[in-house]
């Protein structure tokens, strides 16, 4: 815990896209990140870094491009490819967001669209 009553936390999230287009990847990534920020009452300045992954079937754009459009241009971002596991969900963008949050505030992980199936235990 820091002196200001906050703690470094990691928040998970995922979404799916309907097709491998820059527009779909961008729109769904923005939707997911905005939902994470809203549900966790986070400001851009609270964010330390963001790791974004995409399944191997998404090649039209980098999810980080979309993240920059919502104010994360100065936030360290990195994209990587998910492991290609046979039978795994496709067309999926995942997020691991590191941020400072009040110690007594619970983290709310966000799973949207078909990605809800990845973590049924976290559905609100």
Q: List pLDDT tens digits, range 5-62.
A: 899 999 999 999 999 999 999 999 999 999 999 999 999 999 999 999 999 999 999 9
Residue 100 appears among annotated catalytic residues: no
Q: Which of 9, 92, 99, 111 is catalytic?
A: 111
The structural domains of the chain, ordered by start, are: 6-106 (3.30.1330.40)
Residue 119 appears among annotated catalytic residues: yes
Q: Which of 9, 82, 92, 99 is catalytic?
A: 82
Task: Give the phi and the psi of residue 111 in degrees, each rounded to 5.
Answer: -125, 125
pLDDT for position 54 = 98
117: confidence class by pLDDT, cuts 50, 70, 90: confident
Residue 28 appears among annotated catalytic residues: no
Q: Which of 9, 28, 94, 99 is catalytic?
A: 94
């Amino acid at each position: 815990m820091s002196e200001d009553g906050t703690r470094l936390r990691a928040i998970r999230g995922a979404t799916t896209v309907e097709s491998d287009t820059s527009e779909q990847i961008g729109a769904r990534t923005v939707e997911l990140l905005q939902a994470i920020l809203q549900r966790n009452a986070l400001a851009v300045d609270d964010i330390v870094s963001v790791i974004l992954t995409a399944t191997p079937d998404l090649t039209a754009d980098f999810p980080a491009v979309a993240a920059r459009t919502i104010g994360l241009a100065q936030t360290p971002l990195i994209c990587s490819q998910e492991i290609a596991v046979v039978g795994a969900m496709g067309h999926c963008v995942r997020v691991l967001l590191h941020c400072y949050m009040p110690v007594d505030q619970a983290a709310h992980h966000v799973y949207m669209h078909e990605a809800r199936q990845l973590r049924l235990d976290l559905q609100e």
